[in-house]
Amino acid sequence: MDTVRLGKTNLEVSVAGLGCGGHSRLGQTHGATEAESIAVVQRALDLGINLIDTARAYGTEEIVGKAIKGRRHDVVLSTKALLDTEDSLTASLDKSLKRLGTDYVDVFFLHGVTLDQYQRIGPDCIAELLALRDAGKLRHLAISERFADDAGHAMLPIALADACWDVVMVGFSILNPSARTRVFPITTEQDVAVLVMFAVRKALSSPDELHKVLASVAHREDALDFLVDIVDAAYRFARHEPGTDVVLTGTGNVAHLESNVESINRRPLSGAYLARLETLFRNVDTLTGN
Ligand SMILES: NC(=O)c1ccc[n+]([C@@H]2O[C@H](COP(=O)([O-])OP(=O)(O)OC[C@H]3O[C@@H](n4cnc5c(N)ncnc54)[C@H](OP(=O)(O)O)[C@@H]3O)[C@@H](O)[C@H]2O)c1
């Protein structure tokens, strides 16, 4: 497993991170048992993944807590809190810590923040997060965008102007590389770490969905057939983009996990393939592949 410095946090993490949300939620969405989902997390650790991303909203924190019991200090653990809920950030984090069976998280995200939310309550959130950091309940401040509704990254550049974030989570994929010009120059300049979400998601993991998307954007259903193994290409594309640090992979399937980890550790796509992708998708800032 290749590792990387996680920006200004200075943590050393695996280039593949385990995402415990997304459509799969460690297989919970498709009826996996708790034991099966725990086995996915433990296999990820055995493969050398040391960054695990969950969230209160995913309903997988307890599973993660059980899976990492006895190995907490080998793991860089992140969780998240939604804004505009009954709970304060403090109350939400306290509940997450209890479910995770730990007394701190390494990275704590404001979850899926819209531009409107950030402009309304961002500054208040920062003060509360700093107090939680002082209290030792979180180590690093982080924010994720609501990519499904903000595929052109309106929120993150505004948030990054406050220069208080250690880590961001960004939607980035073959189908929508717009973070390359709108987000990564800022994060690189500030040494803010980037976790990639939506590298594969739905369209890139399902041929029927992909064909629909390609018919609408590239006017040719077979526009990506040259890649042969689309999932492999999609993870390698995200991994080797300058400005990305960790690529999240979300699955309830151990065989998928193993092959995704291999892909994320493979060499970059060829220059010829990257040039073809650039021609097809360089101006796309509305697709999410969700
Ligand atoms: N705003 C936010 O904060 C936010 C939003 C979205 C996601 N996230 C985070 O990002 C993580 C990554 O999630 P993602 O959903 O964006 O994308 P992803 O992990 O790249 O894609 C996951 C989807 O593709 C399927 N899949 C995975 N590997 C496959 C393979 N080798 N072959 C075929 N299908 C495969 C999975 O289903 P199977 O179970 O069948 O493998 C799952 O439905 C999430 O888990 C979460 O931690 C955060």
Q: Look up the CATH number of the domain holding residue 174.
A: 3.20.20.100
Q: Determine if ligand 1 sits within 6 Å of the CB of residue 176.
A: no
**Structural domain range at position 151:** 3-281
Separation of 235 CA from ligand 1 center, angstroms? 11
Q: What is the mean pLDDT of residues 141-147?
A: 98
Give a yes or no: residue 64 inside a domain.
Answer: yes
Which residues, at least 6 apart from 38, have a Cβ–Cβ distance to it below 8 Å?
Answer: 63, 66, 67
Separation of 57 CA from ligand 1 center, angstroms? 15
Residue nearest to atom 31 of ligand 1 (CA): 256
Give a yes or no: residue 43 inside a domain.
Answer: yes
Question: What is the model's pTM?
Answer: 0.97
Give a yes or no: residue 288 inside a domain.
Answer: no
Separation of 284 CA from ligand 1 center, angstroms? 21
What is residue 158's predicted lDDT score, i.e. its pLDDT?
A: 98
What is residue 159's predicted lDDT score, i.e. its pLDDT?
A: 98
What is residue 245's predicted lDDT score, i.e. its pLDDT?
A: 98
Which among 272, 54, 243, 217 is positioned nearest to 142, based on CA atoms?
54
Give a yes or no: residue 216 inside a domain.
Answer: yes
Structure tokens, 33: 């048992």
- Encode pLDDT of 200-247 as tens digits: 999 999 989 999 889 888 778 899 999 989 999 999 999 999 999 999
Q: What is the mean pLDDT of residues 90-109?
A: 98
Which among 34, 2, 1, 4 is positioned nearest to 20, based on CA atoms?
34
Structure tokens, 75: 């793991």
Separation of 135 CA from ligand 1 center, angstroms? 33
Q: What angle do CA 89, 94, 98 make, to 5 degrees?
A: 145
Give a yes or no: residue 110 inside a domain.
Answer: yes
Q: Determine if ligand 1 sits within 6 Å of the CB of residue 288.
A: no
What is residue 89's predicted lDDT score, i.e. its pLDDT?
A: 98
Distance CA 132, CA 197 (A): 26
Q: Determine if ligand 1 sits within 6 Å of the CB of residue 256.
A: yes
Cβ(83)–Cβ(108) below 8 Å = no
Give a yes or no: residue 41 inside a domain.
Answer: yes
- Encode pLDDT of 46-89 as tens digits: 999 999 999 999 999 999 999 999 999 999 999 999 999 999 99
Determine phi and psi for 253, rounding to 5 degrees. Answer: -120, 115
Which among 277, 128, 280 is positioned nearest to 218, based on CA atoms?
280
What pLDDT band is residue 2 in, cutting at 50, 70 and 90? very high
Give a yes or no: residue 290 inside a domain.
Answer: no
What is residue 219's predicted lDDT score, i.e. its pLDDT?
A: 74
Q: Determine if ligand 1 sits within 6 Å of the CB of residue 238.
A: no
Give a yes or no: residue 231 inside a domain.
Answer: yes
Distance CA 15, CA 1 (A): 7
Q: End-to-end CA distance of the chain, in Å?
A: 28
Is 58 among the catalytic positions? yes
Number of the ligand 1 atom closest to the C-alpha atom of 144: 3
Residue nearest to atom 19 of ligand 1 (CA): 250
What is residue 218's predicted lDDT score, i.e. its pLDDT?
A: 72
Distance CA 165, CA 168 (A): 7
- Encode pLDDT of 150-182 as tens digits: 999 999 999 999 999 999 999 999 999 999 999
CA gyration radius, the chain: 18
Q: What is the mean pLDDT of residues 142-149?
A: 98
User: What's the domain count of the chain?
Assistant: 1
Q: Determine if ligand 1 sits within 6 Å of the CB of residue 248.
A: yes
Q: What is the mean pLDDT of residues 108-113?
A: 98
